[in-house]
């Protein structure tokens, strides 16, 4: 049996910080398994989890607010090492009868930390390091047993420790890139103080998952909706590795895909990976349902409902299937289980098109412990090509929400050709993997132009190219003018029906990445 890395874990208690997931990802980069739980988890539940260490995240709150998120004080008496980051440090001090007061002015940005004790979490570091601050409160009095182990010019108690109980606090954020040696600090806590084994690797994850899938599935059949995206693709290949042809993948072509997309999916999964792939051509069915529809939410509902209907019918045709595979990722799980937490987006984690409960299928979600970057690592280990692993996100409703107004065959063809050119030129310029998404949007307006001495009255296309780390926020990409020029010239010259190209220079927020 493979080492159970799930028993060798750190947990992060989420108090609402925008960096909570980043803390967990940084710890996983140290090859140590890490989970996120709501701040109000019970002591009994904590004892069941039995972590090697606990991290208290930051928060936009202040500890002295009436409804400030709080944790059980007994966490500090479990004999488990605890490190508080920013708000987490202040809360630890507050609960253990120290004092936290509002600062005269917020401290935000880079600061130079002077380390007073070069051991424990600061072992192996220089006496002065740069760190990233973001706080409006500070500690004025330490609880009994604590000492200062680091300070900055504006924060006398920037790092504290109670070595005997293995309790630590950092006023700065070690998880962000702006604290260059932050990973070293986290490693000291996780590997030295908590004594965690570094055994969380994607190779071991694959081996472990295959064992679990084989045990759970046995000789039963599993159905999986394959979109061609990273999550569903890695899910399919991993399960196929475990159970072979007992996996049935259903690929529904809704007619809203990019140019040549369906052919690529069939080629990769049926021909290259030899996966049992069932192809459903439902282009006409979807287009008929979308006829005359212009409202974006209505488009989404129609597409989702139609997908569910088709998927259900196709799944039933394979007999008595009991198990449904989904590409659920860890951020989806966090959003589901942390609905009581302050940073949670209250929604049920995504599933394949919102499949209904009355399908009575048991779920298998082999990627539910992974972040997106880990999924890509798994894909690499499984032999997937970079083109598929690092593919830019593509919306479930497809090109339907990149056509503003009614979706028709003619408008789809125009957008497909323009979108192909955008991707070709972005790849040619070498910046495809440096941007989050790059695509064309067909607008519901026409403008006057001149082509070959003749007046034209044709469609307008908007280019949307953004940079982002997670899709939650995004900025428009400052790509070279020459690349924009090449894209514009090609679209206008090669795509019949377009005579004007514009560039979207709005960020998210306040705009969204997709136009609909």
| pLDDT per residue as tens, the chain (516 positions) | 445 778 899 999 999 988 898 999 999 999 999 999 999 999 999 999 999 999 999 998 999 888 899 999 999 999 999 999 999 999 999 999 999 988 766 667 899 999 999 999 999 999 999 999 987 788 999 999 999 999 998 899 999 999 999 999 999 999 998 999 999 999 999 999 999 999 999 999 999 999 999 999 999 999 998 888 899 999 999 999 999 999 999 999 999 999 999 999 999 898 888 999 999 999 999 999 999 999 999 999 999 889 888 888 888 888 888 898 988 888 877 765 543 343 333 223 334 344 555 556 788 999 999 988 899 999 999 999 888 898 888 888 999 999 999 999 999 999 999 999 999 999 999 999 999 999 999 999 989 887 766 778 899 999 999 998 767 678 999 999 999 999 999 999 999 999 999 999 999 888 889 999
Q: Is 208 a catalytic residue?
A: no
Catalytic annotation, pick one of 71, 86, 191, 194: 86
Distances (CA, A) of 88 to 68, 337, 421: 12, 21, 49
Residues 6+ apart with CB under 8 A from 478: none
Q: Is 196 a catalytic residue?
A: no
> Distance between terminal CA atoms of the chain?
49
And the tokens for 306? 């139609």
Residues 6+ apart with CB under 8 A from 343: 14, 15, 16, 17, 18, 20
Catalytic annotation, pick one of 37, 135, 173, 240: 173
**pLDDT value of residue 103:** 72
**pLDDT value of residue 358:** 58
Q: Is 240 a catalytic residue?
A: no
> E-assigned strands of 179-313?
222-225, 247-253, 277-281
- Going by DSSP bridges, is the β-strand pair 9-14/454-467 parallel, antiparallel, or unpaired? unpaired
Catalytic annotation, pick one of 34, 35, 71, 175: 175
Distances (CA, A) of 279 to 200, 312, 315: 36, 14, 12
């Amino acid at each position: 049996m493979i080492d159970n890395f799930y028993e060798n874990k750190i947990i992060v208690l989420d108090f609402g910080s925008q960096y909570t997931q980043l803390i967990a990802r940084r710890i996983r980069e140290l090859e140590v398994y890490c989970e996120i739980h709501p701040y109000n988890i019970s002591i009994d539940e904590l004892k069941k989890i039995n972590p090697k260490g606990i991290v208290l995240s930051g928060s936009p709150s202040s500890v002295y607010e009436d409804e400030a998120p709080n944790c059980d004080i007994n966490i500090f008496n479990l004999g488990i090492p605890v490190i508080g980051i920013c708000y987490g440090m202040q809360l630890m001090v507050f609960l253990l009868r120290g004092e936290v007061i509002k600062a005269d002015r917020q401290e935000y940005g880079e600061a130079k930390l002077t380390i007073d004790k070069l051991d424990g979490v600061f072992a192996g570091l220089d006496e002065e390091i740069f760190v990233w601050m973001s706080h409006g409160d500070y500690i004025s009095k330490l609880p009994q047993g604590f000492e200062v182990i680091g300070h900055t010019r504006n924060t006398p108690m920037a790092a504290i420790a109670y070595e005997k109980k293995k309790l630590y606090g950092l006023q700065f954020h070690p998880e962000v890139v702006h604290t260059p040696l932050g990973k070293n600090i986290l490693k000291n806590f996780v590997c030295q103080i908590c004594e965690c084994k570094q055994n969380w690797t994607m190779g071991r994850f694959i081996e472990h998952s295959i064992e679990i899938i084989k045990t759970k599935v046995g000789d039963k059949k599993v159905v999986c909706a394959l979109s061609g995206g990273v999550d569903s693709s890695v899910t399919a290949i991993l399960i196929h590795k475990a159970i072979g042809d007992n996996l049935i993948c259903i690929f529904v072509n809704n007619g809203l895909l990019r140019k040549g997309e369906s052919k690529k999916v069939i080629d990769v999964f049926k021909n290259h990976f030899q996966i049992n792939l069932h192809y459903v051509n439902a282009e006409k069915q979807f287009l008929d349902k979308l006829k005359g529809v212009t409202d974006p939410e209505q488009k989404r509902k129609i597409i989702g409902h139609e997908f569910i209907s088709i998927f259900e019918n196709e799944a039933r045709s394979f007999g008595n299937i009991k198990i449904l595979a989904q590409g659920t990722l860890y951020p989806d799980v966090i959003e589901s289980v942390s609905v009581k937490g302050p940073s949670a987006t209250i929604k049920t984690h995504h599933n394949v098109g919102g499949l209904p409960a009355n399908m009575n299928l048991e779920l298998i979600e082999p990627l539910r412990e992974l972040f997106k970057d880990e999924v890509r690592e798994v894909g690499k280990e499984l032999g997937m090509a970079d083109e598929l692993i690092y593919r830019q996100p593509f919306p479930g409703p497809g090109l339907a929400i990149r056509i503003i107004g009614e979706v028709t065959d003619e408008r789809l063809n125009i957008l497909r050709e323009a979108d192909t050119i955008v991707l070709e030129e972005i790849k040619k310029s070498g910046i495809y993997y440096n941007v989050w998404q790059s695509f064309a949007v067909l607008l519901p307006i026409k403008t006057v132009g001149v082509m070959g001495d003749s007046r034209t009255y044709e469609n307008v296309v908007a280019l949307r190219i953004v940079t982002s780390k997670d899709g939650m926020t995004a900025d428009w990409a400052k790509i070279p003018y020459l690349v924009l020029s090449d894209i514009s010239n090609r679209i206008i010259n090669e795509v019949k029906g377009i005579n004007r190209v514009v560039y979207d220079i709005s960020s998210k927020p306040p705009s969204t990445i997709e136009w609909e």
